[in-house]
Amino acid sequence: MTVSQDTAVTVDASRLLEWYEQMALIRATEKAAYDLFMSGLVKGTTHLAAGHEAVAVGASAALREDDYVFATYRGHHHAIVRGATPAECLAELMSKATGVCKAKGGSMHLTKADKGMLGSYAIVGSHLPIAAGAAWSAQLRGTDQVAVAFFGDGATNIGAFHETLNMAAVWKLPVLFVCENNLYMEYTPISAVTTVANPAADRAVAYGLPSELIDGNDVIKVYDTVKVAVDRARAGEGPTVIEALTYRHYGHSRADPAKYRPEDEVKLWMQRDPLLVAREKLTGLGVDAADIDEADARAGEVVKAAVQEAKDAPYPDPASALTDVWADGGAAWRN
Q: Answer whether residue 328 is part of any domain.
A: no
Tell me the pTM.
0.92
Largest CA distance in the chain: 64
Query: Dihedral sign, CA of 208, 10, 247, 90?
Result: negative
Quote the pLDDT of residue 2: 42
Instruction: Decide: 306 and 86 in contact? Cβ < 8 Å.
Output: yes
Summarize pLDDT for 83-94 with one digit per residue, the tens.
999 999 999 999
Residue scoring higher pLDDT (257 or 305): 305
Q: Look at residue 18 and give its three-state secondary structure.
A: helix
Residues 131-144 have a mean pLDDT of 97
Instruction: Decide: 292 and 16 in contact? Cβ < 8 Å.
Output: no
Instruction: Calculate the average pLDDT of the chain.
Output: 93
Q: Answer whether residue 32 is part of any domain.
A: yes
Residues 254-265 have a mean pLDDT of 86
The per-residue b/e assignment along 110-121, b for 16 or more CB within 10 angstroms, e otherwise, is bbbeeebbbbbb
CA distance 257 to 88: 27
Quote the pLDDT of residue 5: 46
Instruction: Decide: 82 and 118 in contact? Cβ < 8 Å.
Output: no
CA distance 256 to 87: 25
Number of domains into which the chain is organized: 1
Q: Answer whether residue 316 is part of any domain.
A: no
pLDDT-based confidence at residue 307 (cuts at 50, 70, 90): very high
Question: What percent of the chain stands above pLDDT 70?
Answer: 95
CA distance 43 to 92: 11
Residues 137-145 have a mean pLDDT of 97
Q: Answer whether residue 334 is part of any domain.
A: no
The per-residue b/e assignment along 75-105, b for 16 or more CB within 10 angstroms, e otherwise, is bbbbbbbbbbbbbbbbbbbbbbebbbbbbbb
Residues 254-274 have a mean pLDDT of 90
Q: What is the CA radius of gyration of the chain?
A: 20
Element holding 110 (H helix, E strand): none
Q: Answer whether residue 322 is part of any domain.
A: no
Q: Answer whether residue 68 is part of any domain.
A: yes
Quote the pLDDT of residue 257: 81
- Does the pLDDT of residue 24 top 90, yes or no? yes
Give the CA count within 13 Å in the CB-facing half-sphere of 315: 7
Q: Answer whether residue 317 is part of any domain.
A: no
pLDDT-based confidence at residue 327 (cuts at 50, 70, 90): low
CB atoms within 10 A of CB 137: 14
Instruction: Decide: 77 and 89 in contact? Cβ < 8 Å.
Output: no
Quote the pLDDT of residue 35: 93
**First-to-final CA distance of the chain:** 47
Summarize pLDDT for 185-243 with one digit per residue, the tens.
988 989 999 999 999 999 999 999 999 999 999 999 999 999 999 999 999 999 999 99
User: Could you tell me the residue range of the domain that residue 214 belongs to?
Assistant: 2-307
Q: Which of 330, 329, 256, 318 is nearest to 103 (CA)?
A: 318
Q: Which of 274, 289, 285, 209 is nearest to 244 (CA)?
A: 274
CA distance 197 to 195: 7
Question: What percent of the chain stands above pLDDT 90?
Answer: 85
Least confident piece of the model among 4-13, 171-180, 295-304: 4-13
Going by C-beta distance under 8 Å and a sequence separation of 6 or more, which residues neighbour residue 83? 112, 114, 115, 117
Summarize pLDDT for 50-98 with one digit per residue, the tens.
999 999 999 999 999 999 999 999 999 999 999 999 999 999 999 999 9
CA distance 220 to 59: 9
DSSP secondary-structure letter at 112? Answer: B
Summarize pLDDT for 107-118 with one digit per residue, the tens.
999 999 999 999
Domain containing 15 — which CATH number?
3.40.50.970
Residues 114-132 have a mean pLDDT of 95
pLDDT-based confidence at residue 325 (cuts at 50, 70, 90): confident
Q: Answer whether residue 112 is part of any domain.
A: yes
Quote the pLDDT of residue 1: 39
